[in-house]
Amino acid sequence: MEQLIVGEGGGRLDKFLAAKVPKYSRSAWRQFINDSLVKVNGRTVKPHYFINKGDIISWSISSSILKSQPNKKISRVSLPLKIIAEKPDYLVINKPAGLLTHDNFWPPRQPTVVGKLAKKYPEILSLGDNPTRPGLVHRLDRDVSGLMVIPRTEPMFNALKRQFKNHTVRKVYTGLVYGTLPQTQGVINFKLGRSTNGRKMAARPFNQAGKSALTEYEVIRQWTDYTLLKIIIKTGRTHQIRAHLAAIGHPLVGDNWYGTNKTKIKNKALGINRVFLVATQLSFLDLAKVRQTFSLRLPRQMTSFFNTLK
């Protein structure tokens, strides 16, 4: 049994534990709390319990409990990683849609980017300060594909971490949205914060709580009911592109989290099993301070779909 005493109150229990005990992610702590493995002052509570100064939080999470956690259903389709660049200090990969970047546990309970890479590049397991997501300096959502950089050495890990923090990494995405936009380019600057159910991000006006987020877009091509966009994010918030595009009334094709009831029905009718968003360009400085830039073509699933549009 482990425990800690809250020094300063305020905030949700799951968020507090994820910050104080980063061995497990916030979603993992949420699951432990829901499974009654965490108690506050000797009683079970909900993940959204608002902690108070002096609260005694206790938990007991054994290795047998971790192994018994149920796996989510995963696709039987092979999800291979393609190595775009293999350097002594880093890798650049093309993550396929459907593959998690990381799991909430290590070893992961289902296929992940980290799990697949660790077999050939075990050095990444020693990098970073979170044992459940070693070597990661950024991520892509499960149903999004595209370029990722994975450090292989501590100096490169630290260099990339600083670049992402300072917003000097250039990330360009290509996405297909529902509807036609009234202008060929624009900027979305709604704040982002957790929605009331805690599972999605919600776009909010400036007078409400949330983190600042800036998304630029430019129209590449338009059809009658669809628009292909070039998207550049100036900040890297969770689900930023998906939440921002949905907020202006143009959710991404295939996005059942942020889409409307109408677009969700259309996604199902079209048989789309991924979000039509791809990280198509990635640019960063290597350890010699030389800017490295990598680009991808759009996957065939998307280009084939374009041929059906008018």
Q: Is the peptide bond before 107 cis (omega within 30 degrees of 0)?
A: yes
Please, what is the angle between helix 13-20 and helix 26-34, to 10°?
130
Provide the CB-side half-sphere exposure for 7 (13 A, CA): 1
Q: Find tokens 């699933």 and name the residue.
A: 301
CA dihedral of 181, 185, 187, 188, whole degrees rounded to 10: 20
Q: Which CATH superfamily is domain 79-166 in?
A: Pseudouridine synthase (3.30.2350.10)
Report the distance separating Cα 119 and Cα 294, nearest Å.
24
With contact defined as beta carbons under 8 Å apart, do 118 and 127 qualify? no
Every domain of the chain with CATH number 3.10.290.10 lies at 2-61
Report the distance separating Cα 141 and Cα 271, nearest Å.
19
How crowded is residue 108: how many other Cβ atoms within 10 Å of its Cβ? 19
Q: Identify the three-state secondary structure at position 82.
A: strand
pLDDT at 252 (0 to 100): 98
CA 220 to chain centroid: 25
With contact defined as beta carbons under 8 Å apart, do 157 and 135 qualify? yes
Q: What are 204-241's pLDDT values in tens digits?
A: 876 677 788 999 999 999 999 999 999 999 888 889 99
- Topology annotation, domain 2-61: 3.10.290
Report the distance separating Cα 180 and Cα 182, nearest Å.
7
Q: Out of 141, 225, 255, 286, which one is annotated catalytic?
A: 141
What's the DSSP call for residue 123?
Answer: G
Q: Find tokens 């950024």 and name the residue.
A: 138
Q: Identify the three-state secondary structure at position 241.
A: helix
Closest C-alpha among 184, 104, 178, 186 to residue 139: 104
Which residues in the chain come in under a pLDDT of 50? 63-77
pLDDT at 11 (0 to 100): 86
Is 255 assigned a catalytic role?
A: no
pLDDT at 198 (0 to 100): 58
CATH number of 167-310: 3.30.2350.10
With contact defined as beta carbons under 8 Å apart, do 121 and 151 qualify? no
Closest C-alpha among 95, 97, 256, 99 to residue 178: 256
Residue 160 CB contacts under 8 Å (≥ 6 apart), including other chains: 90, 137, 149, 151, 169, 284
Report the distance separating Cα 160 and Cα 145, nearest Å.
20
Report the distance separating Cα 61 and Cα 64, nearest Å.
8
With contact defined as beta carbons under 8 Å apart, do 261 and 127 qualify? no
Every domain of the chain with CATH number 3.30.2350.10 lies at 79-166, 167-310
